[in-house]
Structure 1
Amino acid sequence: MADGMAVADMFTVHHTVGRVLCCMCGVSMAPNAANMCVACLRSQVDITEDLQKHVTILYCPECERYLQPPRTWVKAQLESKELLTFCIKRLKNLTKVRLVDAGFIWTEPHSKRLKVKLKIQKEVVNGAILEQAYVVEYTVDDHMCDKCTRVAANPDQWIAKVQLRQKVDHKRTFFFLEQLIIKHQASSQCINIKQMHDGVDFFYSNRSHAIKFVDFLNNVVPIKFRNDKQLVSHDTHSNTYNYKFTFSVEICPVCRDDLVCLPQKVAASLGNIGPLVLCMRVSNNLMLLDPNTLRYAYHDCNQYWRVPYKALLSHKQLVEYIVLDVEAEPAISIGSNRFSQAHVQVARVSDFGKNDTIFTVKTHIGHLLSPGDHALGYDLYGANTNDMEMDKYKGLVLPDVVLVKKSYEETRQRKRGRARPWKLKSLAMEIDPAAATKQEEQKRAMEYERFLEELEEDPEMRSKIALYKDPNYVPGSETASMIDGEQPPSVPLDELLADLRLEGESRADSDEDEDMDED
């Protein structure tokens, strides 16, 4: 066996690599396409000649992010992969060479300098590939990003302001509108939000941002607006003017569940509906329903402001009734809502033990009521209505009661004050001192609780906003203790979203996006 291997070695030809002399300096070297050693190649060719050696980058010291032109801000830690990628992307003409390796060279953290060592390859003389390392120095300049500038801005520096108002004595519309603004991120360009006694003011650093916000409001609520401008300064040399723009936006005062007496002209244009109608839905138009005939009509925003009208009775005048008897007819569907006409015998809860007054009324919610239930309605029998439009109808017979919706007040009183498994986000608002009184805070808290209860009762209303799971919620035994009576509506868990928030994300970032069913 050993003899065979020896014979094989005798016939094996061993190849040796030849060496040549460098044509420039005569040093022995391995042959290459240029016939020059590495030192001579580098003396003749510099592959880093057209590459940047000094770059200036912008850094926001407030949020610790770097500007990726034109307007993207990237968050990265010192000597991280993200920062290295950002630095390499800032280099021009790097595509003309092949990047082999890159890494940071340590610098003092407060020196405002970043040094990156790059190793590149490039084809040079006669196809020879030359590899070379060089250092790029980045100068870090402090520059606040737009978001941090808006946060730190003085409110007096605003360019455009949107004054949102509604001439009603409640905040139900603003609660729902706030959730729509958060969902659609409509306030992302706002530099400040101020809650006033009768509305909300939105401040912007650009007029176009204010116009965009007004367009959003016009798509979700029936509004009318006017815009004015005030001269701030004028440069006569360059003929430039600086203005402050103000957009006054007024929301329709008719809200959901309001009872309305339509003007004769409006009733005629809507097919002689009513004239007593209930407002069932508010988006960029009004859905009006005649509870006696189940006829309905959509009143366009522009048509409303041509002949405006107010509510005859609002939700604060709702009276609680107890249902004694129900004779319901088959239910019908109108859009996403179901209605059933019924004759119902009701009595005021406040009359129990005082008198035996019973009302027989016609209602549109017969499919929801059963004997023994409670319902909320408008008491026209004892109400003192002073409406000029109603006086124009000769011979108009008013019903004693107009039922609006089923009431869960009796069962809700036991659960009121307990935590819910869901929560809503809110906008970061500055509260005006005139609206920060103790009485106003108590009124706002009470109205907000009513708004949350309306969300639990209305699935269509919930579908237009975002509800989030409350991580601090601890399930209790409240449902087990309520064995008597019907359970009030609640929000199904499958409708809740997980409240995901990235590390370092501010509340303003997370609180920042059709059709609106307000109130």
Structure 2
Amino acid sequence: RSKSSQRLISHDIHSNVYNYKSTFSVEIVPICKDNVVCLSPKLAQSLGNMSQICVCIRVTSTIHLIDPSTLQIAEIDGNTYWRHPFNSLFHPKQLEEFIIMDINRVQEKKKGAGAGARSNKHTLAEAWVQKTSELNTDHQYFCCTHLGHILNPGDLVLGFDLANCNLNDEFANKMNPHNIPDVVLIKKSYDRTKRQHRRNWKLKELERDREGMDTDDERQYQDFLEDLEEDEAIRKNVNIYRNADVPVESDTDDDGPPRISLAEMLEDLHISEDATGGEGANMMT
């Protein structure tokens, strides 16, 4: 949402010229992709009686949410959000790594009265997971997830631990504790170093210092590249160029991270000299 205002700075009564100073204030919705949010009961009911705990899977002109326990999806526009505002429950740095101990795909639950649409790009599954930092214990967590189509036993996945955190949220604090999941899984985890080495594409960018590879800016840039690989809808309006320095791998490795096909890449154009053969050479002799 935005606000605008004008203030008269000066004016000339003879020429009828007025000078105004215009001020624009824009407030951006504080929700990002992969955030876990808690909706108000009224908003959740208006969206088809979906769960209050949802995952944001995309942000465009609207906020795209999915209920990880039913696969129900919903879109929230700006006007709806500001009438029923909500916040993210976690910061992205609070993501924890889990290992899938067991996972079972389940049939979609029968729709209730007034239920909304469900995603056909995800698969509902029930999983037992364990934190990689607690492998020396027998403490496991049970959860429902919308990532059943890409997860298998032994896979690493990033998620948020709701069972051992203090949820400082107006709506979450009023929920029945039995309706709050112990863990919400967000995305499958891959080896970032290996992923960078096998990336055979690149983006056009301004020259910048790449020495500080561990900075927040560089990590956010790598997150953006991974989002391009994982989501076709994000990269459809982005020019992706073939990187000739990286050899093309076969598509037989299905267990690796998502990759962009060669058909989606553009050939990089290099002009080393004048098109006529030499610098400033005549086209005809």
Q: TM-score, normalised by structure 1?
A: 0.45
How far apart are residue 492 of structure 1 and its match? 1.4
**2:128 maps to which residue?**
345
Could you tell me whether the CA contact under 8 Å between 1:291 and 1:362 is conserved in 2? yes
Could you tell me whether the CA contact under 8 Å between 1:288 and 1:298 is conserved in 2? yes
Where do residues 148-187 of structure 1 align in structure 2 (5 Å cutoff)? none
Where do residues 46-445 of structure 1 align in structure 2 (5 Å cutoff)? 224-329=1-106, 334=118, 338-353=121-136, 355-394=137-176, 396-408=178-190, 411-416=191-196, 418=197, 420-426=199-205, 442-445=215-218
For residues 312-367 of structure 1, what are the alpha-carbon distances to aligned partners after superposition, in whole Å with 9 as ceiling and x for unaligned?
Answer: 124322111111111113589956x51211111111111123x1211121111112
SS in 2 for 1:367: coil
State the distance in 1 between where 2:138 and 2:11 align: 75
Distance 1:379 1:268, change over 3 A: same
Over alpha carbons, which structure has the higher Rg?
1
Could you tell me whether the CA contact under 8 Å between 2:200 and 2:247 is conserved in 1? no
State the distance in 1 between where 2:101 and 2:206 align: 45
State the distance in 2 between where 1:484 and 1:296 align: 31
The answer to whether the aligner puts 1:458 opposite 2:240 as a matched pair is: no
State the distance in 2 between where 1:494 and 1:399 align: 41
More strand by proportion, 1 or 2?
1
How far apart are residue 499 of structure 1 and its match? 4.9
**2:264 maps to which residue?**
495
Could you tell me whether the CA contact under 8 Å between 1:259 and 1:314 is conserved in 2? no
Could you tell me whether the CA contact under 8 Å between 1:324 and 1:344 is conserved in 2? yes
State the distance in 2 between where 1:270 and 1:312 align: 20
Could you tell me whether the CA contact under 8 Å between 1:261 and 1:275 is conserved in 2? yes
Q: TM-score, normalised by structure 2?
A: 0.79
The amino acid that maps onto 2:71 is: L
Distance 1:500 1:237, change over 3 A: farther
How far apart are residue 254 of structure 1 and its match? 1.0
How far apart are residue 371 of structure 1 and its match? 0.9
Could you tell me whether the CA contact under 8 Å between 1:331 and 1:367 is conserved in 2? no
State the distance in 2 between where 1:464 and 1:384 align: 40
The amino acid that maps onto 2:218 is: A
How far apart are residue 310 of structure 1 and its match? 0.7
How far apart are residue 261 of structure 1 and its match? 0.8
How far apart are residue 232 of structure 1 and its match? 4.4
How far apart are residue 376 of structure 1 and its match? 1.2
State the distance in 1 between where 2:80 and 2:256 align: 41
SS in 2 for 1:251: coil
How far apart are residue 289 of structure 1 and its match? 1.5
Distance 1:394 1:484, change over 3 A: closer
Could you tell me whether the CA contact under 8 Å between 1:469 and 1:499 is conserved in 2? yes
The amino acid that maps onto 1:475 is: V
Amino-acid identity (%): 41
More helix by proportion, 1 or 2?
1
Could you tell me whether the CA contact under 8 Å between 1:259 and 1:278 is conserved in 2? yes
Could you tell me whether the CA contact under 8 Å between 1:233 and 1:241 is conserved in 2? yes
Distance 1:242 1:501, change over 3 A: farther
How far apart are residue 229 of structure 1 and its match? 3.0
State the distance in 1 between where 2:245 and 2:206 align: 26
State the distance in 1 between where 2:270 and 2:193 align: 34
State the distance in 2 between where 1:248 and 1:502 align: 44
Could you tell me whether the CA contact under 8 Å between 1:331 and 1:338 is conserved in 2? no
State the distance in 2 between where 1:423 and 1:228 align: 43
SS in 1 for 2:149: helix
Distance 1:424 1:326, change over 3 A: same
Distance 1:396 1:390, change over 3 A: farther
Deviates more, 1:229-238 or 1:343-352: 229-238
**1:180 maps to which residue?**
none
State the distance in 2 between where 1:312 and 1:395 align: 15
How far apart are residue 245 of structure 1 and its match? 2.7
SS in 1 for 2:228: helix
Q: Which runs of 5+ in 2 are unaligned?
A: 110-116, 273-285
Distance 1:363 1:419, change over 3 A: closer
State the distance in 2 between where 1:448 and 1:486 align: 24
Q: How large is the RMSD of aligned CA atoms in angstroms?
A: 3.4
State the distance in 2 between where 1:231 and 1:500 align: 51
State the distance in 1 between where 2:46 and 2:253 align: 49
State the distance in 2 between where 1:394 and 1:293 align: 18
Could you tell me whether the CA contact under 8 Å between 1:270 and 1:297 is conserved in 2? yes
Deviates more, 1:494-503 or 1:321-330: 494-503
Distance 1:405 1:273, change over 3 A: same
